[in-house]
Amino acid sequence: MNLSHIRNFSIIAHIDHGKSTLADRMLEVTKTIPERKMRNQMLDTMELEQERGITIKMQPVRMEYTCHGERYILNLIDTPGHIDFSYEVSRALKAVEGSILLVDATQGVQAQTLTTLEMVKAAHLKIIPVLSKVDSPLARITEVKEEVMTLLDVPAEDILCVSGKTGEGVDTLLNHIISDIEHPQPLISDTKSVRGLVFDFEYSNHKGVIIYVRLIDGSVKKGDQLIFGTSKRKFFALEVGVFKPDAEATDGLTAGEIGYIVTGIKEAKVAQVGDTVTLFKDQLETLPGYMEPTPVVWASVYPESTDDFEILKTALGRLQLSDSSLSYEEEVSGTLGRGFRVGCLGMLHLEIISERLRREFDIDLIVTSPSVTYEVMKKNGEMVTVYSAALFPDHGDVAMVEEPWVEMKIITPGEYLGTIMTLLFEHEGETGDTVTFGDGRTQIIVMMPLRELMRNFFDELKSVSSGYASISYAIKEMRTADVTRLDILVAEEIVPAFARIVSMRRANSEAEDAVEKLYSVLPRQMFVVKIQGQVNGRIVASRKLSALKKDVTAKLYGGDITRKMKLREKQKKGKKKMAAMGKVHISNDVFLKMMKK
């Protein structure tokens, strides 16, 4: 295929602005998929994506389209819109020359629109601004066009209008992709070798690792011996093909094309996103890859049954092959046994990973309360990185704690500003610049500790703004934190799985809430059980769970009252002895109830 007839592009937008629906119409217009096989969210192949109506994994697809009598290949990479999956977007942008910036004509520019736009600008890609949902009776085409004009500094005629529902404007958009986006250019114009960027990969039980590549130089065909630039692992291309959107084998791939290569490699950690594949006998220089994603949320994941540990280990390895932003390491808890500390890019990411483990691998899990990473300086001068509350040093041993802060952009209608400001105060937010849009909406720049963002902030923001506020955030610097460890004691023994790191100013109220919740879900024992919350070595909340009672005199008939008194006294001494020596077994069910909000 002639390079001048190839166009590589992605669609980026705020969540629920119509990316997947627009991609569906493109597949229909280009007749990539027969009408009888079409369904909604065609490129969202995961069950969770279909259920939630969101894109989680980027998905490439190759379309063919005729413009002015010429046949063109259009390679689209559909990307997620939620901020937790920004790493997927950043990888997709490295494999294309242009991007469609999609803005919902009923909602206008949202917080994540700004974040994804910054990513596109940083990648120096051609931007095609497009308004979606223009057929809706709620569409504010003129006002939203003005917002986009200001945002991109472009004239109104450069902003296209489409409807993913009716297909209006899709042909015009495809023509603009061909005319406005540059065709791919190889870095080396004439080479007998090959060089491709690995932007994603998946694992197949039968075929091993299948790498998704954007070919930069040369061409590759089935049977070629290739090598990974970073891991230096050699392999033969067992199959080469493209996505239509299902994998379809071809004779080969040439520079500028996007497709897949079956490696046959069955081990983990060999393929990496951002790596370069090149010809083994004539190796070219490795391409600059991707920045490693840094997990921002950590949670411990344990199998409910200890027999499932190896299954969980295998499952996490498989998930990591399809989600390179996931990280995990083994850990052991005295209460819950063997499990893993899992690092994710956000709360939704963690929720999706937990749900995929349960569904795709049929594992019953216990997931502990999520935590962020803290840098703790001990009084002896030692610096330790803490990403588990149970490992947080005792209060008397801590000299200083630092925690990550985030910069947030919140866009909201003006009438909700007052309640949002109150919410920000409750979550230790520091407000900065504000920008007012022409339609009465305001953008607020806020700095906030990451731990507060995780403390149900998203849900509370949607609640106080009646669902109208949108948010995006980026991790910024580390700042000094006024936090401490909250321990929960059951029968005067600390339960590490219940430990959490909390703000000093809310430590007492959080301890009372945790104790009250455990009191309501812990089954009664044969002896009185103390449930206590401890902060900085002091008990700040306490409840007593009364013992199960049995009438030991029920079988006595008649006789002296002293017989009953002796039996009751004996029972009392027995319960006292049990309280001193007995241990409380906390079931998995109790752990699950404590972890749920």
Report the percent of the chain where pLDDT is more than 90.
21
Q: What is the pTM of this model?
A: 0.74
Which token pair is 126? Answer: 């051609």
Question: Going by C-beta distance under 8 Å and a sequence separation of 6 or more, which residues neighbour residue 316?
Answer: 301, 326, 328, 340, 342, 357
What is the mean pLDDT of the segment spanning 523-535? Answer: 84
Report the percent of the chain where pLDDT is more than 70.
87
Which token pair is 324? Answer: 């390179």
Phi-psi region of 362 (alpha: psi -120 to 50; beta: other; left: phi over 0): left
CATH 2.40.30.10 intervals, the chain: 194-279
Which token pair is 503? Answer: 């703000």
CATH 3.30.70.870 intervals, the chain: 297-370
What is the 3-state secondary structure of 67-126?
Answer: ECCEEEEEEEEECCCCHHHHHHHHHHHCCCCEEEEEEECCCCCCHHHHHHHHHHHHCCCE
Confidence class for position 534, pLDDT limits 50, 70, 90: very high
Q: How far apart are CA 179 and CA 93, in angstroms?
A: 19
Task: Assess whether pLDDT exceeds 90 at residue 236.
Answer: yes
Residue 400 CB neighbours (<10 A): 12
Which of 439, 449, 574 has the alpha carbon at shortest distance from 501?
449
**Residue 23 confidence (pLDDT):** 85
Beta bridge partners of 243: 247
Residues in the chain: 597
Which of 431, 461, 465 has the alpha carbon at shortest distance from 446?
431
What's the burial of 113, exposed, middle or buried (CB within 10 Å: 0-12/13-18/19+)?
buried
CATH 3.30.70.240 intervals, the chain: 375-480
Confidence class for position 362, pLDDT limits 50, 70, 90: confident
Asked if 209 contacts 263 with a C-beta cutoff of 8 angstroms, the reply is: yes
What is the mean pLDDT of the segment spanning 511-536? Answer: 87
Q: Tens digits of per-residue pLDDT, 177-219?
A: 999 999 998 888 777 889 998 888 888 888 888 888 999 988 9
What is the mean pLDDT of the segment spanning 235-263? Answer: 90
Which token pair is 501? Answer: 């790191």
Q: Tens digits of per-residue pLDDT, 32-43?
A: 877 766 666 555
Which token pair is 339? Answer: 């499990």
For the structural domain made of 194-279, what CATH number should be given?
2.40.30.10
Task: Assess whether pLDDT exceeds 80 at residue 56.
Answer: no
Asked if 298 contacts 347 with a C-beta cutoff of 8 angstroms, the reply is: no
Per CATH, the architecture of 484-595 is what? 2-Layer Sandwich (3.30)
Task: Assess whether pLDDT exceeds 60 at residue 48.
Answer: no
**Residue 2 confidence (pLDDT):** 76
Which of 7, 11, 162, 177 has the alpha carbon at shortest distance from 79?
11
Question: Going by C-beta distance under 8 Å and a sequence separation of 6 or more, which residues neighbour residue 93?
Answer: 10, 12, 99, 119, 120, 123, 125
What is the mean pLDDT of the segment spanning 348-375? Answer: 83
Q: Tens digits of per-residue pLDDT, 167-177?
A: 889 999 999 99
Cis link prior to 288 (omega < 30° from 0)? no
Domain 375-480 fold is Alpha-Beta Plaits (3.30.70)
Burial state string for 189-226 with b = 16 or more CB within 10 A and e = fewer than 16? eebebbbbbbbbbbbeeebbbbbbbbbbbbbbebebeb
CATH 3.40.50.300 intervals, the chain: 3-180
Which of 333, 322, 321, 414 has the alpha carbon at shortest distance from 367?
333
What's the whole-number average pLDDT of the chain? 83
What is the mean pLDDT of the segment spanning 534-552? Answer: 81
Q: Tens digits of per-residue pLDDT, 268-284?
A: 778 888 888 999 888 88
**Residue 82 confidence (pLDDT):** 64
Which of 172, 185, 130, 152 has the alpha carbon at shortest distance from 8?
185
**Residue 582 confidence (pLDDT):** 61
**Residue 42 confidence (pLDDT):** 55
Query: According to the CATH classification, is domain 3-180 in 3.40.50.670?
Result: no
Task: Assess whether pLDDT exceeds 80 at residue 464.
Answer: yes
Q: How far apart are CA 148 and CA 165, in angstroms?
A: 22
What is the mean pLDDT of the segment spanning 223-251? Answer: 90
Question: Going by C-beta distance under 8 Å and a sequence separation of 6 or more, which residues neighbour residue 483?
Answer: 374, 401, 403, 451, 501, 502, 503, 504
Asked if 395 contacts 330 with a C-beta cutoff of 8 angstroms, the reply is: no
Asked if 81 contacts 49 with a C-beta cutoff of 8 angstroms, the reply is: no
Q: Tens digits of per-residue pLDDT, 377-397?
A: 988 888 998 888 878 888 888
Range picked from 188-202, 314-328, 471-485, 537-551 for highest mean pLDDT = 471-485
Domain 297-370 fold is Alpha-Beta Plaits (3.30.70)
The order of strands in the sheet holding 327-333 is 327-333, 337-344, 297-303, 365-367
Q: How far apart are CA 471 and CA 80, in angstroms?
A: 15
Mode of pairing for the β-strands spanning 239-243 and 297-303: unpaired
Q: How far apart are CA 454 and CA 458, in angstroms?
A: 8
Stronger pLDDT, 47 or 110, i.e. the higher one: 110
Confidence class for position 303, pLDDT limits 50, 70, 90: confident
Asked if 408 contacts 453 with a C-beta cutoff of 8 angstroms, the reply is: yes
**Residue 176 confidence (pLDDT):** 92
What's the burial of 365, exposed, middle or buried (CB within 10 Å: 0-12/13-18/19+)?
buried
**Tokens 């490699």 appear where?**
265
Task: Assess whether pLDDT exceeds 70 at residue 551.
Answer: no
* Helices 86-93 and 111-122, axial angle in degrees (round to 10): 30
Task: Assess whether pLDDT exceeds 60 at residue 264.
Answer: yes
